[in-house]
Amino acid sequence: MFRLNTWFRLHSQFYGFGTAVKPLKQLASSGLLGWPLTVRVSRFTGFDWKVKAWSGLMNAAPEPVPEGFDYDAWLGPAPFKPYFRHRTHGSFRGYWDYDGGGLADMGQHYLDPVQYFLSKDDTSPVEVEAWAPWPPHDDAVGIWGRIEMKYEDGCRIILESGDWGENQTEGRPYIEGPKGKVYRGFKTDPPDLAQAVASLPDPEPMISDFSESVRTRRTFGLHESNGNRSNILVHLANAAIRTGRKLRFDPISQHFIGDEGANRLVDQPMRAPWHL
């Protein structure tokens, strides 16, 4: 049995948004907002990407490996790079070989509920484009400004860091459709949309207690399949930042279309003797 350790589609308040995910799912699924929907994830809608906190150092000097620390084992299949302290510890998030900065640190938590209430657990966006400083550093993750992803049916996810470029999400709704909008704090336009949730059917139930999943052998609500789709969003965003171009993606093969350079990021070589 398998569990992913982000839980906002199941319970709890959804970070800084000011409500749980359940009413967002109910409203999005009801058709009252219309379709397709645009979702904006930024500090202005309640979500801080921690971009600067999880950026890497671009000019760090090599340091002696601490006594008793097996740096070779720590690197695992990643390419060998000179040791310095910031490369390891929690700050490893700031280096492409091991993670993807604030996007990869926070993306699963913020974007899994978006996949859920857009009913996209079995698919992925078909286009992604990023606005960020160019070129990116080859080792250290840096800042970015905005990323836009589009699904086959026209639904869009817009990510904005607020740390670079023009802020386009300030004052804009978190969810926007042709018929209505949802703002931070679950304020809606028109206002009666928020009250309408009380009369809408509950989402399909999911197992939210892992011990129940183990006892019954039934799939936990956050599992390897929907978790993979949520993680793909993070990697699509970082692939667009690293290539500096608009990318087209095949949700079935889970590879980029006509872009060998982007696909090299999908299946990176392992340092010997590591292998699958």
Note the pTM of the prediction, 2 decimals: 0.95
Give average pLDDT by consecutive 10-residue segment, the chain, 276 residues. Answer: 91 92 97 98 95 95 97 97 96 97 94 97 98 97 98 98 95 98 97 96 95 97 96 97 98 97 93 93
- Find all residues with CB under 8 Å of 67, minimum gap 6, and list them: none
Where in the chain are the domains? Answer: 15-53+101-266
Give the pLDDT score at 7: 87
Q: Does 3.30.43 match the CATH number of domain 15-53+101-266?
A: no
Using CA atoms, how far residue 25 sits from 30, 89, 143, 155, 171, in Å, is 8, 37, 31, 15, 22
For Cα atoms 267, 7, 173, give the angle at the middle one, nearest 5 degrees.
90
- Find all residues with CB under 8 Å of 96, minimum gap 6, and list them: 56, 138, 139, 140, 141, 242
Give the pLDDT score at 214: 97
Give the pLDDT score at 91: 96
